[in-house]
Structures are given as C-alpha cells and as structure tokens.
Amino acid sequence: MITTRITELLGVQYPILQGGMAWIADGKLAAAVSNGGGVGIISAMNADVDYVREQIAICRSLTDKPFGVNVMLMSPFAAEVAEVLAEEQVPIITTGAGSPNAYIPRWLEAGSIVIPVIASVAMAKKVARAGASAIIAEGGEAGGHIGEISTMALVPQVCDAVDIPVIAAGGIADGRQAAAAFLLGAEGLQLGTRFLVATECDIHQTYKDKVLKAKDIDTITTGKRLGHPVRALKSPFSRRLFQLEYDSTVTNEELEELGSGSLRRAAVDGDEQEGAFMAGQVAGMITKEQSAAEIIQEMFAEMETCLRGATKCLR
C-alpha cells in the first residue's frame, strides 16, 4: 500500500493519473483507470461542451470513483468547457497548453481539485500561487505536446520550488521509472503512452500495434520551429513534417495546417501514412496489451519491489 499527499488529496488507492490525451482519453478509458484504483482523465481537447458533458456522463455511468477532465487551454471552447466542469462538479481538473489561472478560483469554489500540467519551474510557481492543489511536472520525453526539460532534470527543480505535491509525467512506463520518479521527489505519476495499449482504450489497432512494435529510437519531435514541440512515433507524416520545418520556404501557417487533424487520423483512422501517432520515448518498453487495472497493479508491484531493494548497493 502506498500513501502520499496525492493519494490523500485525491482519495484514491494508487497515486497514478492517466494522461488526458486528445482523441484517445474518453469517458470509457477514464472509468477503467479510475475503477483500477487510479484517476482516469477525459480529454476535453478541442471539443465543444456537448461532447465533454457526454463523456462525463459515460464515465459516471461506468464508475463511482474519482475521475478528472483535462482542459486544453488553447481550445476555442476552453472557457465554456471550464464553466461546464464547475457546473458538473468534476472531482479533478487537469490543464495543459497554457496558464489555467483565470479559471482556478471558479473550479476551487465548485469543489474541484485543480492540477495543472507544467513544464518549467516558473510555470509551477505561477500556478501554485494561483491556488493549484498539485501540479504535474511533465518531462520532454513524454508523448504529444511537450516541454523541453526531461523528467530527471525537471522534477527535482520543481519540487524545490513549490510546496504543493508534484506528480511526475514523461518517461514512466514501468516500476523502475515509477520508483525513480518518487526518489526525485514526486508523490504521484501520470502515464500516457502505456495506457494507449490498455484494452479499454478504443484507439485504432494500428496505433496500438505501432506502440507495441516501437524501439527506443522510434519517436521524433516536430513543431520546435513553431515553439510548441510534439512527440510522435516516426511515420511518413512525422518525418516529412520534421524535414519541412527546416525548409524556410514553408511558412509557419503551412506547418500548422499540415499538423491539423493528424492525431485524429492516427487515433480514429489508423492512417499509417498521414497520422501523427503521438507517444513517448517509453514506447520501446511497452510490449503487451493489458487492462488498465492490470497496468496499474503491475506498475506499483514492480515499484514496491524496486523501492524495497533500494539499499542493496549500500554496504
């Protein structure tokens, strides 16, 4: 049994969140993770409030455990979604792609626990001052939209800078990495890539197969020129995008336009040519499909073994 400020704050058995991945993290996956003892997160992505309400209803029909919704702050619907989450009294709200500070008072008033995803010390301090309940410090080895600093370098620097509990994300797929994250100072974990192959995750099988077959070097980062890097598995699309970034006859607007819809093409259509199969650098370690509950149990059993053996090199 593991007890940290995160298990106590969230009222869950295991201090683990499933990342709020657009086109992937729906009410069904979130419920499976929450039923497994962690915290499932629904991605509000660029969707309107009807979609978000619908996924919350699906999740609530499948679990009575705490769950969350991730607000993508650059979404055109972000403000409306923010209000709906308060109305729905969603237990946990995570945020990405910007500063959630404008919404934090309303969410706290509604009784939600607010956990922004951050990628730097400055942003960690900023959201902590605004009343965030905890933070997710996400390293650049994660999949999808990422920051620059790795989990190993970021987590201790963030832990030194804020008093609220820190959840580590990026580079975590097994119990060794979970144990390492705890020694860096984290009190919880967020996993994305490993939950891509959860049996309850309804992405296209091609996407799952690409994760299962990936090697360590099989991810690529695009979008650096635009200032918002994205990590995905190598594919004809992602390799082409990488090259085009270095072609200064291609405008930033053209690059943005090329990226548009590419994650949907991966997750929904399984389009091996034109899809952006977002995944973290740990894809190379993921070799089997399991239920969300099995993933969580296996991860924490391994982590416990690892922590109990931590002193074996000391004599």
Residues that bind its own copies (CB under 8 A): 1-4, 120-122, 139-141, 148-154, 156-157, 160, 170-172, 174, 176-177, 179-185, 187, 215-217, 219, 221, 224-225, 245-249, 280-282, 284-285, 304, 306-308, 310-311, 313-315
Rounded least distance, CB 298 to its own copies, Å? 15
Reduce the secondary structure of 238-293 to three states and give it as a string.
HHHHHHHHCCCCCCHHHHHHHHCCHHHHHHCCCCCCCCCCECCHHHHHCCCCECHH
Q: How far is the CB of 50 from its own copies (least distance, A)?
A: 38
Instruction: Select 31 or 167, whichever has its Cβ closest to its own copies.
Output: 167
Closer to its own copies by CB, 12 or 306: give it.
306
As measured in angstroms, the least distance from the Cβ of 158 to its own copies is 8
The whole-angstrom separation of Cα 311 and Cα 60 is 43
Q: Token pair for residue 203?
A: 């992405």
Return the closest-CA partner of residue 196 out of 23, 53, 34: 23
Closest separation in Å from C-beta 219 to its own copies: 8
For the chain, the straight-line distance linking the first and the last C-alpha, in angstroms and rounded, comes to 27
Angle between helices 175-183 and 292-308 (to 10 degrees): 60
d(CA 238, CA 271): 12
State which residue, 34 or 177, has the beta carbon closest to its own copies: 177
| Amino acid identity for residue 128 in this structure | A
Nearer to its own copies (CB atom), residue 39 or residue 146: 146
The nearer residue to its own copies, 141 or 271, going by C-beta atoms, is 141
Q: Minimum Å distance from CB 279 to its own copies? A: 11
